[in-house]
């Protein structure tokens, strides 16, 4: 299952770094699913729920990465228009903008998924035990995945994308040394 998700992500991004960044969201989702299973006393015979969770977690990771890339491209274009090189400080600014951009639609997606699963979790009718085993890992995983991908993916993105960038732009350093605020 993980290899299929990895392959699909690689075919989408065509770069290993972005694929690995998104794949980092999957363990966080699985941890939340396992915590929820433990908390509610379910056994681990819930493979379908974890398969669905892996897909949704990968999707939220892809959405986060797309917004981070979009913000980085905008800041890079602004730096080019100003005639200065793109630096780690610029990447940090783009990272902050991209991480908070469109938070409401991202959160609405997660809340809608969880809102649809909560009645299944609380149901007591025929077949409810089987459906609860699917809903429990999804609900727990969505909680942990949502919280951690909002923090971890932007941090990892900044480290990976900022690896070869200068700390600050040369022009900005010269202006600051001269006492001029560019």
Do residues 75 and 165 touch, judged by C-beta distance below 8 A? no
CA distance linking residue 66 with residue 178, whole number of Å = 38
- pTM (2 d.p.): 0.75
94: tokens are: 């783009």
Do residues 23 and 6 touch, judged by C-beta distance below 8 A? yes
pLDDT score at 169: 53
Do residues 23 and 1 touch, judged by C-beta distance below 8 A? no
The angle subtended at Cα 120 by Cα 33 and Cα 49, nearest 5°, is: 35
Q: What pLDDT, in 10s, does the model give residues 40-70?
A: 877 666 777 888 888 888 888 888 889 999 9
pLDDT score at 27: 82
Residue 69 burial (10 A CB sphere; 0-12, 13-18, 19+) = middle
CA distance linking residue 117 with residue 49, whole number of Å = 11
Q: What pLDDT, in 10s, does the model give residues 98-142?
A: 988 877 877 888 889 889 989 988 888 887 887 888 888 888 888
CA distance linking residue 116 with residue 125, whole number of Å = 17
Q: Which residues contact 176 (CB under 8 A, 6 or more apart)?
A: 182
Give the domain 19-163 fold.
Multidrug efflux transporter AcrB transmembrane fold (1.20.1640)
With tokens 């001029």, the residue in question is 180
* Residue spans per domain, the chain: 19-163
Q: Which residues contact 123 (CB under 8 A, 6 or more apart)?
A: 131, 132
């Amino acid at each position: 299952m993980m290899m299929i998700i990895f392959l699909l992500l690689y075919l989408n991004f065509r770069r290993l770094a972005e694929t690995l960044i998104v794949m980092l969201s999957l363990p966080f989702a699985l941890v939340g699913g396992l915590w929820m299973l433990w908390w509610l006393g379910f056994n681990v015979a819930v493979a379908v729920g974890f398969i669905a969770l892996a897909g949704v977690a990968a999707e939220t990771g892809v959405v986060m990465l797309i917004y981070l890339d979009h913000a980085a491209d905008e800041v890079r274009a602004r730096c080019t228009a100003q005639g200065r090189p793109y630096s780690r400080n610029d990447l940090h600014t783009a990272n902050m903008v991209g991480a908070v951009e469109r938070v409401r639609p991202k959160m609405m997606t997660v809340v809608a998924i969880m809102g649809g699963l909560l009645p299944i979790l609380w149901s007591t009718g025929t077949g409810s035990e089987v459906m609860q085993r699917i809903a429990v890992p999804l609900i727990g995983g969505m909680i942990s995945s949502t919280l951690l991908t909002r923090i971890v993916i932007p941090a990892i993105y900044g480290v990976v994308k900022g690896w070869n960038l200068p700390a600050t732009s040369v022009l900005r350093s010269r202006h600051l040394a001269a006492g001029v605020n560019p």
